Amino acid sequence: MTTPNSGDTVIIDYIVKKADGTIVGNTEQTGPQEVKLGANQIFPQVEAALTDMTVGDEQSVAIPCESAFGPRQDELVIDIPRANLPPEPAPEPGMQLQAQGQDGQPMVLHIVEVGEETVKADANHPLAGEDVTFDVTLRDIQQAA
């Protein structure tokens, strides 16, 4: 039985769950995913598990929040004056805003609260502070040339 190596491309199915079992992502809608091993395209813990698998194997990989999306950072929750936002569409909780961080890098903000004068937005990743589990199935190995 062949296991994949760094440089190989693997085809996987996965389900990502929070610690409480809530599914937060999977390949059911998108179809199997291609991942090139060694190219930092997936969490290192999942990549390590894949290198021990053969086609058809399934494995669950637990990733603590510190190694996944990091801890929640309260300083990333900010109030934005509504005057700084375009009038349309009207801001609503759950909407995403594109912004530029102090380092010039683009960032995504999630609106969590809308007030009369300000909008509270959160720049934390939606899974920050969450331990996650990847249930991964290896479907195919395309060996590097």
Query: Can you give the pLDDT at residue 68?
Result: 94
Does the pLDDT of residue 132 top 90, yes or no? yes
Same domain? 132 vs 113? no
Query: Can you give the pLDDT at residue 18?
Result: 96
For residue 81, give every residue at least 6 positions away whose Cβ sits within 8 Å of its Cβ, in sequence order, or none.
117, 118
Structural domain span for residue 40: 9-69+128-142
- CA–CA gap between residue 138 and residue 50 (Å, rounded): 7
With a threshold of 0.95, does the pTM exceed it? no
Q: Which residue has the higher pLDDT, 45 or 107?
A: 45
The share of the chain scoring above pLDDT 70, in percent, equals 100
- CA–CA gap between residue 105 and residue 123 (Å, rounded): 13
Does the pLDDT of residue 1 top 80, yes or no? no
Instruction: Tell me the pLDDT tens digit for each residue of 62-98.
Output: 999 999 999 999 999 999 998 888 888 889 999 998 8
- CA–CA gap between residue 136 and residue 102 (Å, rounded): 37
CATH number at residue 82: 2.40.10.330
Structural domain includes residue 4: no
Please identify which residue in the block is written with the tokens 């909407």: 95
Structural domain includes residue 78: yes
Same domain? 21 vs 63? yes
Structural domain includes residue 1: no
Same domain? 91 vs 58? no
Query: Can you give the pLDDT at residue 134?
Result: 96
The share of the chain scoring above pLDDT 90, in percent, equals 78
Same domain? 86 vs 51? no
Mean per-residue pLDDT over the chain, rounded: 93
Query: Can you give the pLDDT at residue 37?
Result: 96
Same domain? 57 vs 102? no
Residues 119, 82: contact at Cβ < 8 Å?
yes
CATH number at residue 27: 3.10.50.40
User: For strand 33-36 and strand 9-18, is the pairing parallel, antiparallel, or unpaired?
Assistant: antiparallel
Residues 55, 143: contact at Cβ < 8 Å?
no
Domain count, the chain: 2
